[in-house]
Structure 1
Amino acid sequence: MRKVFSSRRLENAEGVAELLRKAGIEVRITNGRSYRGNRRGTFSYSDPTAPESEVWVVRSEQQLPARELLREAGLIDSTRPGEGYSFRAPLDGTAARTPANRRLLRIKLGLLALIALAVVLAGIHTLNRVDPEPQLASPPFDGSTAATLPPVARAVFASDVVVIDTPVACLGIDGGDASEHLIETLPRQEALLVPATWCVEVADEARGSFHRASGSEATIVDVHAFRPTAPDRGTVEVSAYHHRSWASYKTLEVARIEGEWQVVDVVKHVESRGLMGF
C-alpha cells in the first residue's frame, strides 16, 4: 500500500477515497471513523497534534493512476515518483471559516480598505494642491521682459484700470490662460470671468470676440510684458480686446506694498471705442 492523501479533516479524506473508488481504485482510510460510524473526536486545523486521516491505495499497480487522478482534481502538487506529495488545503474552505481565520481575514480586509482610502485621499490632495505663488521678481532688473507673476496679474485683473463692457471677460497671462484658481480668487464682477481660451477672438466689428460656450460677447484681457525693476516693483502691460475698433492697451507701474502687489500708476494708455480708430 502507498499513502496518496492525508488531512486532519476526516470528511476530506473520505471525499478523496470516494473519488478514487468511483474510478475503480481500491483504497483504505486510516484514522477514520470508529466502529460505530461516529466522527472521530473534535479536530482543529490550528492543533498540530490532531491526528490525520490518511488515504492509502491498496494495489501497487493502481498507485500511479490514483496520483494522476488526484493531480487532475487539484488535490496534490506532484506525481513524480520519489517526490514527497504536497497535499493542498481543503476545497470546501472549512479552514477559512474558523473563527481565528475569519478574524484574520477581517483584519486584512480592513487594512486593505485603509490603504486604498489613503491612496485615494493622497491622489485627491495631489490633484487639488495649489503650489505657492512666487511673490517677488527675480533678477535681472535691467528692463528685460520676465514671466508675469500671478499676484501681479491678479492685481491688474482686480483693479479698475481694466474696463469690461461685455457680459464675459476672458483672462490670460503672457498669451496663455489665467488659472482657474487665480480667477476664483478675484473679486466678484458683473462680467463672467473665464480663462482666455474659452473665448474666440474676432477682429470684425459686426461680430466681435465671443464666449465659445454661450456665444455671448466677450472681452479678451491679457496681462503680459512684465519688466521688473526690483524684486517688488516693475511695469506690466495689459490689453483688453473685443474687436479691432474696440480695444484698450495700457502700460502700468506695479509695486508690492505691505505684502500685496498693486497698480500704482498708468504709464501709457491707448484706446479705441469706435470706428474712427485710435
Structure 2
Amino acid sequence: MRQVFSSPRLENVEAVAQLMREAGIEVRISNGRSYKGNRRGAFSYTDAEAPKPAVWVVQSEDQVKAREILRAAGLIDSTRPSDSFTTPTFRFEPQTQVRTSAQKRMFRIKMTLIGGIVLVAGMALVRGINTKPAPALALPPFDGTIGATLPPIARAVFAKEIAAIKMPMLCLAVDGKDASTELIGQLSTPAKPIVPASHCVRVADEERGSYHQHTGREAAFVEVHAFRPSAPDVGQIEFSAYHHRMWASYKTLEVRRIQDTWQVVRVIKHVAT
C-alpha cells in the first residue's frame, strides 16, 4: 500500500477515499473512526504530533490513476512520477488570496507615494525652470539722493568702461569698498587681471603712480559710486579710473534697465587728466 493523501480532518480523508472508490480504486483509511463508529474529536493545532487520518492505495497499479484524480481535484500540484509519494495535502487557497491581496494593497500604496513624490519633484523642477529671478530695481527716494549701487549696474558699467583702460592691473571698488569676489571673477581675464581695491596702493605722484602691492605692477583704481536713481529702472552713476594725478578719468553715466538688463545708455559728463 502507498499513502496518497492525508488531512487533519477526517471528513476530507473520507471524501477523498470515496472519490477513489467511485473510480474503482481500492483504498484504506488509517487513523479514521474509532471502533465504536464515532468520529474523531475536533482537530486542534496544538495537537501537532497526533497521527493524521490518511488514504492509502492498496494496489500499486492504481497509484498513477490516484495521482491523476488528486491533481484533477486540485489536491496536489504535480503528477510527475517519483520513487515515492510525497504526502498530498490541501492547498489553502483562501489564505493565499488574503496574503496576495495584502501585498497588492501595499504595492498600490507604495506606488501612490512614489508617484506623489515624483509629481512634487517634477512640479518643483518645472517651476524652477520657468521662474526667472526678479530683475534688480532701484529703491526710492527718486529725488537725486545717493543710494547703494546695485550689483548688475556695477557690472554693466565696468564691462563697458574697463576695456578702454590701458593698464597692467585693475583695482576694483564699489561705493568705496572692495568689489565682490563674484564680480571680479566675472570681469577678470588673463590679459587684464583684476583685484580688490585694497590690494593696491594709491600714489598721486606721476613718477611712480599707483601699483599692486604684491607684485609692484602698475595699476589703476577703478570705481563706481554715487548712484542716484530717478525711477526704479533709471538713474545716474559716477565712474572713475585713477593711476596718478595726471592720469585719471571721471564720468557721469546714465544707466537704464532695458529688457531686464541694466545698461549704460549715455555719458552725461566726462573729465580726464
After TM superposition, the score normalised by the length of structure 2 is 0.49
More helix by share: 2
Larger radius of gyration, structure 1 or 2? 2
After TM superposition, the score normalised by the length of structure 1 is 0.48
